[in-house]
């Protein structure tokens, strides 16, 4: 490899690191994303310049198809479907790495003695983990897209099948190192596909987005291993970054849920996973119309907004921002309380509200705003449920027990905007809905916020 190519690859790797740093803050996220994308384009284009490639028309055709699919998918996806897109794109990355490793295994076999055992081990790892990431990501996509039930799926003997599959994967991995054949590699890939399915099936409800992050880490590690196999430093660095960041994100999300990663993955086998569905409650609640809620908000000195997935579904973020602007103009102090797992993935609410040009200063993380609820006149919960559910603190048997929540129950008045009395993503009832301080405003969030905005303006 020419020296200038190595220097360009090094520059691309540095750009990936700077891009990840840029993504750590909302003000620099767009620039970081563009920097990383530009570095990826350069890294992909580089082999066409210094290598004498075969099948160039096929390669260009594949790049064109993938580019069109990526652009169209990114432009058309709704904010509520962003986690599904992340899962699908992540799965494609893992599957691609596994296929490349299989092809490399085929190419290495005629010259087996020229390669160290570690190269074959890295190849086996890439095939196995890439296959797990692909099939697991497809199942998470199907769950979130409601192509299958979002509840945990278990069957008698699942732990046994999972364990035997793991043992088979280890044996096939060893055989790939000691006596490699393409057939062994293909069977290893099939076992990986099975493990990916069995890994995700028992996960349900609010735990599914955490598994997406875990599978993202798997894909990163797969890409890093394939970078070693292909002797490509850019893949090695990029994969390591994705693997490390995905691992940290998984741990942070699990902490935000008050659960361990092991419990999230296998809790359903002993009844500990979030449920993902539930029946609507018929218990009596106190409800009101937009005019009554407008009075509460219009004469409050301190208001906290708790956004959730329902806000994204209704695409009501622009109307909510306009309502907050009107309240702020009246002298009310308003902030948005952001829970780490509000919505369907970390940062979901931040991106949604940034789209509506909400000032970053008004987005306050849970740890920094929880102490303010005691002095808050009104908490307006828009499409959120589990992140303010007191069961996380008071009900040891609840699937979300131990999860840190926003202390909305400590406010003087709570207003819930809901379409119905169905439970949240965790599938359990929220006792805060029946608190004497709570008022419910039923209806589509966008329609209700529009009426509420008009009522506040009329005060």
Residues 351, 338 contacting (CB under 8 angstroms): no
119, two tokens: 């190269």
Q: Which of 335, 386, 409, 435 is catalytic?
A: 386
Helices (H), 179-308: 182-200, 208-230, 233-256, 261-266, 290-298
Residues 169, 194 contacting (CB under 8 angstroms): no
Is the alpha carbon torsion for 10, 230, 22, 370 positive or negative? negative
349, two tokens: 């609410």
Q: For residues 223 and 240, what is the distance between their CA atoms, to the nearest angstrom?
A: 8
Residues 41, 8 contacting (CB under 8 angstroms): no
Q: Which helix (H) or strand (E) holds 158?
A: helix 158-178
Dump the DSSP string for 79-130.
Answer: GGGHHHHHHHHHHHHHHHHHHHHHHHHHHHGGGGGGS-HHHHHHHHHHHHHH
Q: How many CA atoms lie within 13 A of 215 on its CB side?
A: 39
Annotated catalytic, 386?
A: yes
Q: For residues 383 and 378, what is the distance between their CA atoms, to the nearest angstrom?
A: 16
Q: CA nearest 380: which of 310, 275, 283, 279?
A: 310
370, two tokens: 């929880």
Q: For residues 414 and 411, what is the distance between their CA atoms, to the nearest angstrom?
A: 7
**What residues are labeled active site?**
386
């Amino acid at each position: 490899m020419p020296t200038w190519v190595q220097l360009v690859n090094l520059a691309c790797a540095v750009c990936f690191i700077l891009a990840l740093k840029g993504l750590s803050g909302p003000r620099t996220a767009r620039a970081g994303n563009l920097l990383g994308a530009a570095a990826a384009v350069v890294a992909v284009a580089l082999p066409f310049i210094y290598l004498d490639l075969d099948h160039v028309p096929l390669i260009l055709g594949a790049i064109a198809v993938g580019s069109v699919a990526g652009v169209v998918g990114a432009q058309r996806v709704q904010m509520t479907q962003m986690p599904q897109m992340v899962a699908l794109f992540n799965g494609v990355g893992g599957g691609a790495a596994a296929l490349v490793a299989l092809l490399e295994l085929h190419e290495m076999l005629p010259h087996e003695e020229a390669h160290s055992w570690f190269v074959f081990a890295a190849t086996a790892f890439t095939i196995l983990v890439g296959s797990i990431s692909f099939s697991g990501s497809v199942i998470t996509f199907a769950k979130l897209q409601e192509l299958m039930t979002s509840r945990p799926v278990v069957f008698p003997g699942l732990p046994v099948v999972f364990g035997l599959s793991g043992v088979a994967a280890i044996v096939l991995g060893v055989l790939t190192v000691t006596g490699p054949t393409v057939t062994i590699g293909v069977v290893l890939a099939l076992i990986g596909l099975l493990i990916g399915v069995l890994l995700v099936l028992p996960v349900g409800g609010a735990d599914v987005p955490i598994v997406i992050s875990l599978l993202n880490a798997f894909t990163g590690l797969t890409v890093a291993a394939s970078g070693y196999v292909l002797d490509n430093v850019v893949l090695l660095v990029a994969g390591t970054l994705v693997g490390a960041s995905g691992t940290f994100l998984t741990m942070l999300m699990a902490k935000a849920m008050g659960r361990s990663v092991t419990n999230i993955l296998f809790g359903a086998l002993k009844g500990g996973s979030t449920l993902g569905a539930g029946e609507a409650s018929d218990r009596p609640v106190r409800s009101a119309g937009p005019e009554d809620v407008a009075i509460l908000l219009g004469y409050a000195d301190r208001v906290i907004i708790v956004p959730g997935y329902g806000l994204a579904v209704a695409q009501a973020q622009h109307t909510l921002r306009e309502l907050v602007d009107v309240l702020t103009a009246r002298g009310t102090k308003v902030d948005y309380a952001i829970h780490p797992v509000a919505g369907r993935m970390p940062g979901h609410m931040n991106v949604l509200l940034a789209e509506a040009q909400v000032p970053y200063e008004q987005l306050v993380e849970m740890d920094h705003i929880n102490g303010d609820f005691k002095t808050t006149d009104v908490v307006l919960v828009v499409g959120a449920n589990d992140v303010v559910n007191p069961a996380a603190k008071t009900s040891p048997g609840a699937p979300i027990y131990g999860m840190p929540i926003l202390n909305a129950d400590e406010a003087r008045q709570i207003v819930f905007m809901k379409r119905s009395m169905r439970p949240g993503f965790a599938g359990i009832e929220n006792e805060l809905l029946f608190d004497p301080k709570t008022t419910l405003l039923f209806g589509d969030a966008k329609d209700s916020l529009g009426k509420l905005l008009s009522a506040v303006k009329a005060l």
